[in-house]
Homo-oligomer: A and B are copies of this chain.
Amino acid sequence: MFKVETIPDNLRVRGFRAVGVASGIKKGANLGKKDLALIVSDIPARAAGVFTRNKVKAAPVQIDIERIMKGVSRGVIVNSGNANACTGRRGYNDALRMTALAEKSLGFKRGELLVSSTGVIGVPMPMDKMRARVPELASGLSYKGLPDAALAMMTTDAFPKTAIQKARIGGVTVTIVGIAKGAGMICPDMATMLAYFMTDANIKGRALKAALKGAADSSFNSIIVDNDMSTNDTALIFANGLSGGGVIREGSPDFNAFSRLLNKVSLKLAHMIVKDGEGATRFIEIDVRGAGDRQQARTAARTVASSFLVKTAFFGGDPNWGRIMAALGYSGVKMKEAKVSISFNGVEVVKAGVDTGKEKAAARGIKTRDVAVKIDLGAGTGSSRVWTTDLSYDYVRINSAYRT
């Protein structure tokens, strides 16, 4: 585990209030920790979401997928400590009730809030505990409340994940705040990734969705800690337009500027998630170039980053290019062994498919926390980067512990 990240000062954005409280959903060693959060926009915000592609979707995810179709929302209620997944019809009704209780206390119409849950799977939501805290949630909402919301989303996270970026777009200052929790390699139950972006930008519909999807693909969808895809993964963006700028239209220079800003925030959160992998001792970038196309590069990078043998080698500080070469070979992408080159932190260990004799230098060069692996397939112009961790004793320890 890496150094604990701290929450930036002034983690706030025009027109968004938030709160995080302890409701008693978290149990055991985490009893008494914050586990219930609410994030609300002062005015209806444009909203978009991306969700787990797992066919087993938790109840809150099913509800959000329906509600996000309107493209407008007032915010989201989130709990940690219970995933409300694999809970059948009862779980679905519980998730509906969560939003209804919060909506009522805030004077919102039915369906104006979204909902997320993260924690243990297969256990019914303790609705009594939740219900008892809803008045406190509503009255506690504050423009300074986003850090508390970030804390209340945590499960086995060692630190809260938050980021803020500002830029001049279309003549006004636009702010994007992101908060996240998770994921993988950390969680005695399924490893969920939740992320929320709040912005005062004036952007809606397809443009907002496109910006979110682009940002998620190059950040959350480009980190690999283990290969397990959660039933609850959710990223939502809320844009309330209070920056005062004109509408940001898809394909415009302003859209590109907004996308870059959102990418920065989401990439920062994604890297924090990798660094928070319990048991992680290294932060590894796999940068594949020279692939047939971007998709091939992505497949190659993901296959290398997913290999048990590659990940254990990194834990041992071993620049084991043979394992990488073999992973490239079974990744299914177009490649010829004789054209591949591989380097570790700038030391080229394989050129044209064969050993350069620099493996000892490479081993010395990766005695660092951060390791950059560059792979050139020599087969085209496609490139892609993914980030991952090593596979350590602590990963096994944490994930083999019987759930309590």
Q: Which of A327-345 contact B (CB under 8 A)?
A: 327-330, 335-338
Q: Which of A388-404 contact B (CB under 8 A)?
A: 390-393, 395-397, 399-403
CB distance from A38 to the nearest CB of B (A): 26
A122 and B363 alpha carbons, distance in the complex (Å)? 16
Would you call A309 and B121 a contact (CB within 8 A)?
no
Query: Digit string of A47-64 for contact with B (CB within 8 Å is 1, else 0)?
Result: 000000111110000000
Would you call A317 and B354 a contact (CB within 8 A)?
no
Would you call A322 and B400 a contact (CB within 8 A)?
no
CB distance from A372 to the nearest CB of B (A): 20
Chain A interface, >50% SS class: loop
Q: Is A199 an interface residue (CB 8 A)?
A: no
Question: Which B residues touch A399, using CB under 8 A?
Answer: 308-309, 312-313, 316
A54 contacts which of B326, B338, B355 (Cβ < 8 Å)? B326
Q: Is A318 an interface residue (CB 8 A)?
A: yes
Question: Which B residues touch A190, using CB under 8 A?
Answer: 309, 322-323, 326
A228 contacts which of B120, B308, B401 (Cβ < 8 Å)? B308
Would you call B55 and A315 a contact (CB within 8 A)?
no
A86 contacts which of B307, B327, B355, B391 (Cβ < 8 Å)? B355
Q: Is A7 an interface residue (CB 8 A)?
A: no
Query: Digit string of A223-241 for contact with B (CB within 8 Å is 1, else 0)?
Result: 0001111110000000000
Would you call A122 and B322 a contact (CB within 8 A)?
yes
Known A228-B327, A355-B86, A395-B312; judge A318-B56 contact (CB<8 A). no
Would you call B395 and A88 a contact (CB within 8 A)?
no
Q: Is A321 an interface residue (CB 8 A)?
A: yes
Interface contacts beyond A189-B323, A190-B322: sample of 9 additional A-B pairs, CB < 8 Å, sorted by A: A56-B329, A57-B329, A86-B354, A227-B308, A228-B309, A308-B391, A316-B401, A318-B402, A393-B397
Point out residues on A near B: beta carbons under 8 Å: 53-57, 85-88, 120-123, 185, 189-191, 226-231, 306-309, 312-313, 315-318, 320-323, 325-330, 335-338, 350, 353-355, 363, 390-393, 395-397, 399-403
